[in-house]
């Protein structure tokens, strides 16, 4: 049996690499190994962070991005869930829709930007752009979840004469749920990446991506760095939250593996 | 007298076509099971005993001959026939209580609650209503599965190697429990097993099947008083009798020595 590590030592382990990177960053920037305009030091970034905090731009833009990503995520994952369920439950629908879906899925997300810009140049196009990216993992994982429902459970449904609705509510819906949550987690992290891309390609109405691009335009690399770090940290926390949700709601699947 | 649950199996045959060859899984099976009887079907793997059981419950379709329950030819599953599978097949996302309630249709919430409570009590799972299947041991899961199969008050309970995955001691304990439930519910039970001792302990009759093609080899009555004593001479004799059908008995060259 493996010994369980204490939380403190685990957090310690996870901090080693960031600290090392921070030290290297500090040394490289203070020794002026790279031009200061290109690579600001940690101190410069902190100053810039305080500056954007004080004039309110940081939280203004972050808030816009978070709300925007939630909109895109909700629309995209709801549509993805519906499509995944339809494809999973019906072989006919799978034959009809799956090839088109798989072809469309090959188009890289940024390639949708020109089309979105043509449609509208604002919030709507950005949200749609995010929801395209958000939908794929939910479609695929919902489909997988439905298709991997054990035939043994369906025999139980047969024996108890479940009708289609009862079979769906009692078996397909709960059995696929853990897999759907995995899809939602991946979808959340893609959405967060997509919001930054959307704000760069279709900049309008603010957002952390637009703030970063704006920093680049006026050669303020320190602001760019503030944005990069913020994007990384927020994305990390979102995925972490989703992972907790996933574990909570699929307790029966996770523990089943251990006990059987 | 309760006459519900009389099962007649008449000239039942089943064959599959595998690469241009007909494989006879069941070959002309004839068997009558009286209401309230406990029957075990014993046989080697591949003798068609599970196939026969699946036909009785209605999970397989298409066979020659007739399977008749109380005068009606069976076609597809029905709530009057319950089944307990070897793997308990409880839904892992539902509590014991909700799993047991799955089988109930057309009852008010209040009735439902009572039925579930009664049956959880019957199988001795009181206090575990809110537990999830992963929190139960193998024996407890199988108890819950038995409760689920009984909530519709079926005339026949089919048991497909229900205790096969349990350890030897738990299995013996479950034999007692199964006998008790059978007596309390007064229903016909048909169990597929390859544990001869289990069959002798529980059955009124033991049906021995042979493989390739799946045939009914012999029906052995077990005229022992219940509860049965595994250590008794009579018990051993019946067991030996069943084992003879599989050429597994010990040849007694000397009946006594001196």
Report the topology of domain B7-80+154-244: Rossmann fold (3.40.50)
Beta strands B215-221 and B205-210 are: antiparallel
Quote the strand ranges of chain A, DSSP E. none
- What's residue A192's pLDDT? 95
CB contact under 8 A, B77 and A158: yes
| DSSP string of B63-124, one letter each residue | -EEEEEETTEE--S--TTEEEE-SS----TTS-HHHHHHTT--S--HHHHHHHHHHHHHHTT
Instruction: Report the distance separating Cα A186 and Cα B108, nearest Å.
Output: 42
pLDDT digits (tens, 9 = 90+) for A109-144: 989 988 888 887 788 999 999 999 999 999 999 999
Q: Measured between alpha carbons, how far is residue B258 from residues A258, B254, B255 in Å?
A: 58, 10, 10
Residue whose token pair is 């016909």:
B188
pLDDT digits (tens, 9 = 90+) for B78-110: 888 999 999 999 999 999 999 999 988 888 899
- What's residue B60's pLDDT? 87
Interfacial A residues in 230-259 facing B (CB < 8 Å): 251-253, 255-256, 259
Which regions in chain B score pLDDT beneath 50?
Answer: 1
Residue A260's contacts (CB-CB under 8 Å, 6 or more residues apart) are B134
Beta strands B205-210 and B38-43 are: parallel
CB contact under 8 A, B83 and A159: yes
CB contact under 8 A, B93 and A153: no
Domain limits of chain B? Answer: 7-80+154-244
CB contact under 8 A, B134 and A153: no
Tokens of B173: 């304990």
Instruction: Report the distance separating Cα B230 and Cα B28, nearest Å.
Output: 34
For residue A2, pLDDT beyond 90: no
Tokens of A172: 């397909």
Q: Among A26-40, A126-140, A159-173, B137-151, name the one with the lowest average pLDDT.
A: A26-40
Of A159, A170, A259, the CB nearest to B57: A159
Domain A41-46+56-259 class in CATH: mainly alpha
For residue A230, pLDDT beyond 90: yes
Sheet bearing B7-18, strands edge to edge: B21-33, B7-18, B64-69, B72-73
**Continuous segment of H or E residues that includes residue B183:** helix B168-185
Interface test mutation site (partner A, options B134, B135, B150, B158, max chain A beta carbons within 10 A): B134
Instruction: Measure in Å the smallest separation between the Cα of B194 and chain A Cα atoms.
Output: 22
CB contact under 8 A, A171 and B78: no
Instruction: Measure in Å the smallest separation between the Cα of A144 and chain B Cα atoms.
Output: 18
- What's residue B231's pLDDT? 92
Give the model's confidence band at A1: pLDDT under 50 very low, under 70 low, under 90 confident, else very high: very low
- What's residue A260's pLDDT? 39
pLDDT digits (tens, 9 = 90+) for B210-236: 888 888 999 999 999 999 999 999 999
CB contact under 8 A, A153 and B91: yes
CB contact under 8 A, A161 and B102: no
- What's residue B56's pLDDT? 92
Residue B254's contacts (CB-CB under 8 Å, 6 or more residues apart) are none
Residue whose token pair is 């007692």:
B176
Report ipTM (2 d.p.): 0.86
Domain limits of chain A? Answer: 41-46+56-259
* A23 touches B: beta carbon within 8 Å: no
Which residues of chain B does A160 touch, with a Cβ-Cβ cutoff of 8 Å?
A: 77, 79, 102-103, 105
* B132 touches A: beta carbon within 8 Å: yes
- Is the distance from CB of B13 to CB of B65 less than 8 angstroms? yes
Give the model's confidence band at A20: pLDDT under 50 very low, under 70 low, under 90 confident, else very high: very high
Picking from A178, A181, A169, the residue whose alpha carbon sits closest to that of residue A148 is A178
Q: Which residue has the higher pLDDT, A17 or A33?
A: A17
Instruction: Report the distance separating Cα B178 and Cα B203, nearest Å.
Output: 11
3-state secondary structure of A37: coil
B95-117 core/surface letters (b: 16 or more CB in 10 A; e: else): bbbbbbbbbbeeeeeeebeebbe
Which residues of chain A does B85 touch, with a Cβ-Cβ cutoff of 8 Å?
A: 152, 155
Instruction: Report the distance separating Cα B188 and Cα B182, nearest Å.
Output: 8
Instruction: Report the distance separating Cα B86 and Cα A245, nearest Å.
Output: 33
Instruction: Measure in Å the smallest separation between the Cα of B85 and chain A Cα atoms.
Output: 9
* A168 touches B: beta carbon within 8 Å: no
Residue B214's contacts (CB-CB under 8 Å, 6 or more residues apart) are B14, B24, B25, B26, B27, B29, B43, B47, B48, B49, B51, B52
User: Which DSSP state fits B33?
Assistant: E
Which residues of chain B does A161 touch, with a Cβ-Cβ cutoff of 8 Å?
A: 77-79, 105
CB contact under 8 A, A158 and B103: no
Give the model's confidence band at A82: pLDDT under 50 very low, under 70 low, under 90 confident, else very high: very high
Instruction: Measure in Å the smallest separation between the Cα of B160 and chain A Cα atoms.
Output: 13
Q: What's CA A246's distance to the chain center, in Å?
A: 14
Instruction: Report the distance separating Cα B35 and Cα B187, nearest Å.
Output: 7
| DSSP string of B193-253, one letter each residue | ES-HHHHHHH-SEEEEEETTTTEEEEEEE--PPSSP-TTSHHHHHHHHHHHHTTT-SPP-S
For residue A255, pLDDT beyond 60: no
Of B57, B103, B134, the CB nearest to A252: B134
For residue A4, pLDDT beyond 70: no
What mean pLDDT comes out for the span A55-82? 96
């Amino acid at each position: 049996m493996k010994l369980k590590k204490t939380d403190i030592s685990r957090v310690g382990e996870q901090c080693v690499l960031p600290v090392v990177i921070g030290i290297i960053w500090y040394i490289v920037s203070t020794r002026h190994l790279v031009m200061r305009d290109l690579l600001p030091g940690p101190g410069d970034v902190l100053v810039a962070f305080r500056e954007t905090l004080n004039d309110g731009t940081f939280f203004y833009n972050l808030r816009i991005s978070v709300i925007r990503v939630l909109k895109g995520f909700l629309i995209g994952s709801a549509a993805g869930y519906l499509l995944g369920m339809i494809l999973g439950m019906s072989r006919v629908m799978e034959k009809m829709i799956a090839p088109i879906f798989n072809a469309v899925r090959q188009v890289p997300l940024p390639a949708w930007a020109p089309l979105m810009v043509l449609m509208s140049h604002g919030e709507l196009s950005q949200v749609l752009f995010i929801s395209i990216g958000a939908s794929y993992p939910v479609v695929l994982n919902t489909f997988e979840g439905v298709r991997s429902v054990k035939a043994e459970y369906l025999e139980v449904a047969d024996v108890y004469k479940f009708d289609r609705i009862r079979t769906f509510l009692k078996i397909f819906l709960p059995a696929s749920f853990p897999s759907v949550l995995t899809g939602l987690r991946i979808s959340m992290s893609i959405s967060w990446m997509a919001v930054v891309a959307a704000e760069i390609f279709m900049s309008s109405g603010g957002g952390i991506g637009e703030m970063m691009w704006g920093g680049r335009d006026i050669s303020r690399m320190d602001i760019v760095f503030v944005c990069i770090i913020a994007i990384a940290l927020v994305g990390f926390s979102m995925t972490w939250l989703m992972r907790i949700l996933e574990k909570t709601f699929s307790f029966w699947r996770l523990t089943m593996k251990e006990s059987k | 007298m309760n006459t519900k649950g009389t099962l007649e199996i008449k000239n039942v045959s089943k064959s599959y076509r595998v690469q241009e060859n007909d494989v006879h899984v069941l070959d002309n099976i004839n068997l009558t099971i009286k209401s309230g009887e406990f029957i075990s079907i014993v046989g080697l793997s591949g003798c068609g005993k599970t196939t026969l059981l699946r036909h009785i419950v209605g999970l397989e379709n298409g066979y020659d001959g007739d399977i008749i329950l109380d005068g009606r030819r069976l076609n597809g599953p029905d709530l009057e026939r319950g089944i307990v599978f070897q793997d308990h097949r409880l839904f892992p996302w539902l509590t014991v209580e909700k799993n047991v309630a799955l089988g109930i249709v057309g009852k008010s919430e209040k009735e439902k609650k009572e039925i579930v409570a009664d049956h959880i009590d019957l199988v001795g799972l009181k206090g575990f209503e809110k537990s999830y299947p992963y929190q139960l041991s193998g024996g407890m899961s199988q108890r819950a599965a038995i409760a689920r199969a009984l909530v519709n008050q079926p005339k026949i309970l089919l048991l497909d190697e229900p205790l096969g995955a349990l350890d030897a001691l738990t299995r013996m304990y479950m034999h007692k429990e199964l006998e008790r439930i059978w007596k309390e519910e007064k229903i016909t039970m048909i169990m597929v097993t390859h544990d001869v001792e289990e069959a002798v302990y529980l059955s009124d009759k033991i049906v021995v099947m042979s493989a390739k093609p799946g045939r009914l080899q012999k029906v052995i009555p077990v005229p022992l008083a219940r509860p049965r004593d595994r250590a008794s001479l009579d018990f051993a004799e019946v067991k030996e009798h069943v084992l003879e059908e599989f050429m597994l008995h010990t040849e007694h060259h000397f009946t006594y020595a001196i």
